[in-house]
Amino acid sequence: MVFDHELILISLSPAENSMGDPIVEETSVTVLCDVQAITRSEHYAAATHGLKPELTFVLNKYEYEGQRLVEFENVRYRVIRHYFTKTQKDFADFESVELVCEGLMNNAST
């Protein structure tokens, strides 16, 4: 597993603009990840529930804080599910998390 891609993790939090109106504020952090394809079985299992997984991102477990949006190569994705894997023995002995994601229409935030 090679962590040679950059992934932007995006957090959304409620805030107020200068007029006091409620808005959603984005906070982002860039991490290194590995990109994997969706397996055939996962694709069809998700399709039965109306989901369309496109990519799986694997990153260090300690860099992920429950963000529901990510951006990869200027395309935004929604995290469908995350899965904590066992320790990666082949790369720096750290625990990883897999983020299974689906694309968002027009790079929407929600």
Provide the domain limits for residue 63. 5-107
Give the tens place of pLDDT for each residue, 49-107.
889 999 999 999 999 999 999 999 999 999 999 998 866 566 556 789 999 999 997 76
Measuring CA to CA, how many Å separate 85 from each of 19, 23, 35, 73, 97?
A: 45, 35, 15, 24, 6
Q: Report the number of distinct structural domains present in the chain.
A: 1
pTM value is 0.84
Tokens describing residue 91: 């790369």
What span, in angstroms and rounded, lies between the C-alpha atoms of 58 and 23?
A: 31
Tokens describing residue 9: 């993790």
What span, in angstroms and rounded, lies between the C-alpha atoms of 40 and 3?
A: 23
